[in-house]
Chains A and B, each alone.
Chain A
Amino acid sequence: MVDLYEILIGKEGDKDYQKKSVIVQGITGKFGAFHTQQMLAYGTNIVAGVTPGKGGQKLEEVPIYETMNEAVGATGAKISIIFVPAKFFLSAAKDALEAGIKLLIAIPEHVPVKDALVIVELAKKKDAIVIGPNTPGIIIPGIMKIGIMPASPFKPGRIAVISRSGTLMYESSHNLSVANFGQSICLGIGGDPINGTPLIEAFDTIRNSANIDGVIVVGEIGGDAEEMLAQHIIDTKFDKPVVAYIAGRAAPKEKRMGHAGAIVYGNYGSAESKVSMYTKANVPVAKRPAEIPMLLAGKLGKGRIK
């Protein structure tokens, strides 16, 4: 079983322990450049950037290459983060996977479903993990972040947060931090209908980590990822505390609520359906983000862990 935490951090004693190499695709754009600075400031080991036409230049001392092949060849990095506009996502992601990237963080919003499906297929063939598209990325508080999240809501600790929404990931983590529940890893899977790493798989990539005492799952209306996860929690007898939140209870049906994936058809994708499955799985669902730490404290207090 893949352990995402270990992919990102490595093992103690590794030469690059906590310093895994990361490439930024689209490093010279306004957005890419700004977040490269932010990530460097947080301690992420960014070793290269790629922008066609800007090869040979540097940004914040980070060398820029023409292609992913060159960047990977020069650095041996296995992780990349993509900042290009949605139209160019398909080719950027293909280049990354063809060049041997094993963990791809896909930031762009508005990627067509067809392009996402093509990348999902290619990633399977290449045995690579894709997070996103339309994700804020991943942060391991206090150590590194590969994404666009602000640093302030997060604090090191032992709770994992998986979220379909960016700002709700910040909001939930902020509430946890204030209540003294630090986080070991916070991961946004993206707000699109097609996720490179769907909710269940995201859950499975962190469930076995030794650094986790509990999991917060921040969901929203649309699709049936939460229902499937709830069933999965029952089937696999996951025994650490899980607390959920679902946004969009008050949203009208058949309206896309900002995220491409946040839309209810009939009962499919409705908050009621998700809450009722979570209830079956003994996962409490917070009414608002501020309630998450209270529910978590309740679960932890029941002696389910030491």
Chain B
Amino acid sequence: MRLLEYQAKSLFADYGIPIPKGLTSIDIEQGRKDAAVLGFPFVIKAQMAVGGRGKAGAIQKCQNADEFELKYPDIMQKVVKGEKTKAILLEKMADIKKELYLSLFLNRGKRCYTIIASAEGGVEIESVKNQIIHEVGLGNVDAKTAEEVGKQMGLKDKALTQFIDILQKLAKITVEKEAELAEINPLAILGDDSVVALDGKVIIDDNAMFRHDELRKFQEVSELEERAEKSGFSLVELDGNIAVVGNGAGLVMSTLDMLSDNGGKPACFLDVGGGATTETVYEALTLISKMKKVKGILVNLYGGIVKTTTVAMAFIKAYEDKVIDLPVFARMSGAEADKSKELLKGSRTKMFDTIEEAINAAVIEMNKNG
């Protein structure tokens, strides 16, 4: 789960990492009240789970009430890389002397947490120069390590003391909240040499959420995603018109690739999990029926242990119950494939021996319908 900037900053504040004064709203009426409390000038920042907001105009300075009336609605309806504005943070401007980069992240290759710090922050991590990298095991950072990193960045006196404190607190957040990433970029040194987190990005390990009820309030899932999660499915909604369903994340990704290679446009990624039963496939079809943009369904099931007839029953039941009225292009491997074909004869579900054939048929059918 990726926290929005204001959510990450609320964690920072809880742990005593300095942040600028700011207020978050989701409509302009509340925004006006926030503006009155803060006083002009300030920065209007779109809250969305994506980088590159500044370049896209989703972060803008605001000098007075006239500007506010123009910019607030403009930023509210911004879409950057497909991500919509979820809320708006109004934040006091800081007197920035220098911008630093600081993060702790789960280093998959080394299988440990790693600090990345740089005295040249404020740009995306790929462009951050002179990176200082420290491996820190399970994520705890002692004062000595923090001091070493700060000194390597060329920090001194008050700024160094504050940096050490911030790095240790960021590490505490990482460990206690089970974050895969906790990033402050930029971490700014202000005119008076105090150090402040101007932005925040925190990604929490979804699999650890069962231990973090206190973070549930930040969780934002669509109704469909919530239903999918309840059934143990993984669902990612996409822009196209062919729903892609299968068992196993790798297999569904692979199907998505092949469909795209053939000019098809996936409407979603839906992994029903390792096994497949009549119930899970029926529930998957029910979920898909709720997606208006879907015009066809591509199914790729590697049965093996599962009998394909078990799965075929789900399609038959879904048509009978009028859950779906869409063409289905299915490849199912496993026992009793011939029997399944027989069962589905005359229905809108077409069975294919290979996934390549199923994809071809699906793409042709979608093109026919424009």
User: Which A residues have a C-beta under 8 Å from some C-beta of B?
Assistant: 38, 86-87, 109-114, 117-118, 120-121, 136, 148-153, 163-171, 174, 191, 193-195, 198, 218, 220-221, 223-225, 228, 245, 247-262, 266-267, 287-290
With contact pairs A113-B208, A223-B108 given, residues A193 and B180 touching in the complex (Cβ less than 8 Å): yes
Report whether B249 and A191 are in contact in the complex, using a CB–CB cutoff of 8 Å: yes
Which listed residue (A150, A251, A288) contacts B305, Cβ 8 A?
A: A150
Q: Which residue of B lies closest to A87 (CB)?
A: B210
Report whether B257 and A247 are in contact in the complex, using a CB–CB cutoff of 8 Å: yes
From B30-38, B184-192, B258-266, B279-287, give the one contacting chain A: B258-266
With contact pairs A153-B304, A249-B260, A259-B249 given, residues A198 and B109 touching in the complex (Cβ less than 8 Å): yes
Report whether B269 and A257 are in contact in the complex, using a CB–CB cutoff of 8 Å: yes
Report chain B residues within 8 Å CB of A113. 106, 178, 180, 205, 207-208
B63: CB under 8 A from chain A? no
Report whether B252 and A112 are in contact in the complex, using a CB–CB cutoff of 8 Å: no
Report chain A residues within 8 Å CB of B249. 165, 191, 220, 257-259, 262
Report whether B138 and A112 are in contact in the complex, using a CB–CB cutoff of 8 Å: no
Q: Closest CB of chain A to B369's CB: distance in Å?
A: 22
Which listed residue (B108, B247, B354) contacts A193, Cβ 8 A?
A: B108
With contact pairs A191-B249, A250-B266 given, residues A170 and B205 touching in the complex (Cβ less than 8 Å): no
Report whether B250 and A168 are in contact in the complex, using a CB–CB cutoff of 8 Å: yes
Q: Which residue of A lies closest to B237 (CB)?
A: A255
Residues 231-274 of chain B: 1 if any A CB is under 8 Å from the residue's CB, otherwise 0? 00010101000000011111111101111110000100101001
Chain B interface bracket (under 10, 10 to 19, 20 to 34, 35 or more): 35 or more
Report whether B254 and A288 are in contact in the complex, using a CB–CB cutoff of 8 Å: yes
Q: Which residue of B lies closest to A222 (CB)?
A: B108
Report whether A251 and B302 are in contact in the complex, using a CB–CB cutoff of 8 Å: no
Which listed residue (B82, B108, B333, B356) contacts A252, Cβ 8 A?
A: B82
| 29 pairs from A and B in contact (CB 8 Å cutoff) | A111-B207, A112-B211, A113-B106, A113-B208, A114-B205, A118-B138, A163-B250, A166-B248, A167-B248, A167-B250, A168-B251, A171-B254, A171-B302, A174-B333, A191-B249, A191-B250, A194-B108, A220-B253, A247-B251, A248-B256, A250-B259, A251-B253, A252-B82, A254-B49, A255-B236, A259-B250, A260-B206, A267-B126, A289-B254
Q: Closest CB of chain B to A152's CB: distance in Å?
A: 6
Q: Closest CB of chain B to A131's CB: distance in Å?
A: 14
A198 to B108: give the CA distance in the assembly, Å: 9
Which listed residue (B111, B207, B251, B254) contacts A120, Cβ 8 A?
A: B111
Q: Which of B132-176 contact A (CB under 8 A)?
A: 137-138, 175
B125: CB under 8 A from chain A? yes
Report whether A250 and B109 are in contact in the complex, using a CB–CB cutoff of 8 Å: no
Report chain B residues within 8 Å CB of A166. 248, 250, 274
A170 to B206: give the CA distance in the assembly, Å: 27
Report whether A257 and B106 are in contact in the complex, using a CB–CB cutoff of 8 Å: no
User: Which B residues have a C-beta under 8 Å from some C-beta of A?
Assistant: 2, 49-50, 81-82, 106, 108-109, 111-112, 124-126, 137-138, 175, 178, 180, 205-208, 210-211, 234, 236, 238, 246-254, 256-261, 266, 269, 271, 274, 302-305, 333-334, 354-356
Q: Closest CB of chain A to B325's CB: distance in Å?
A: 27
Q: Closest CB of chain B to A203's CB: distance in Å?
A: 14
Report chain A residues within 8 Å CB of B125. 266
A68 to B101: give the CA distance in the assembly, Å: 47
Report chain B residues within 8 Å CB of A164. 250
Q: Which residue of A lies closest to B212 (CB)?
A: A112
Report chain B residues within 8 Å CB of A223. 108-109
Report whether B304 and A149 are in contact in the complex, using a CB–CB cutoff of 8 Å: yes
With contact pairs A191-B249, A198-B109, A247-B253 given, residues A257 and B302 touching in the complex (Cβ less than 8 Å): no
Report whether B257 and A248 are in contact in the complex, using a CB–CB cutoff of 8 Å: yes
A157 to B355: give the CA distance in the assembly, Å: 25
A101 to B265: give the CA distance in the assembly, Å: 48
Report whether A170 and B82 are in contact in the complex, using a CB–CB cutoff of 8 Å: no
Q: Closest CB of chain B to A116's CB: distance in Å?
A: 8
Report chain A residues within 8 Å CB of B124. 266
Which listed residue (B137, B178, B253) contacts A257, Cβ 8 A?
A: B253
Report chain A residues within 8 Å CB of B333. 174
Report whether B111 and A224 are in contact in the complex, using a CB–CB cutoff of 8 Å: no
A169 to B207: give the CA distance in the assembly, Å: 24
Report whether B250 and A288 are in contact in the complex, using a CB–CB cutoff of 8 Å: no
Report chain A residues within 8 Å CB of B206. 256, 260
Which listed residue (B126, B175, B211, B354) contacts A290, Cβ 8 A?
A: B354
Q: Which of B2, B106, B354 has the most CB of A within 10 A?
A: B106
Q: Which residue of A lies closest to B356 (CB)?
A: A290
Report whether A150 and B304 are in contact in the complex, using a CB–CB cutoff of 8 Å: yes
Report whether B257 and A152 are in contact in the complex, using a CB–CB cutoff of 8 Å: no
Report whether A170 and B304 are in contact in the complex, using a CB–CB cutoff of 8 Å: yes
A254 to B236: give the CA distance in the assembly, Å: 11
Q: Which residue of A lies closest to B233 (CB)?
A: A258
Q: Closest CB of chain B to A40's CB: distance in Å?
A: 14
Report chain B residues within 8 Å CB of A250. 253, 256-257, 259-261, 266
Which listed residue (A117, A218, A249, A252) contacts B238, Cβ 8 A?
A: A252
Q: Closest CB of chain A to B222's CB: distance in Å?
A: 13
Report chain B residues within 8 Å CB of A255. 236
Report chain B residues within 8 Å CB of A121. 137-138
Report whether A251 and B250 are in contact in the complex, using a CB–CB cutoff of 8 Å: no
Which listed residue (B205, B236, B355) contacts A112, Cβ 8 A?
A: B205
A120 to B138: give the CA distance in the assembly, Å: 11
Report chain B residues within 8 Å CB of A245. 254
Report whether B251 and A165 are in contact in the complex, using a CB–CB cutoff of 8 Å: yes
A260 to B266: give the CA distance in the assembly, Å: 21
A236 to B111: give the CA distance in the assembly, Å: 22
Report chain A residues within 8 Å CB of B50. 254
A117 to B135: give the CA distance in the assembly, Å: 14
Report chain A residues within 8 Å CB of B252. 257-258
Which listed residue (A38, A87, A150, A224) contacts B109, Cβ 8 A?
A: A224
With contact pairs A112-B208, A166-B248 given, residues A251 and B269 touching in the complex (Cβ less than 8 Å): yes
With contact pairs A174-B333, A248-B257, A258-B234 given, residues A114 and B208 touching in the complex (Cβ less than 8 Å): yes
A87 to B209: give the CA distance in the assembly, Å: 11
Report chain B residues within 8 Å CB of A109. 274
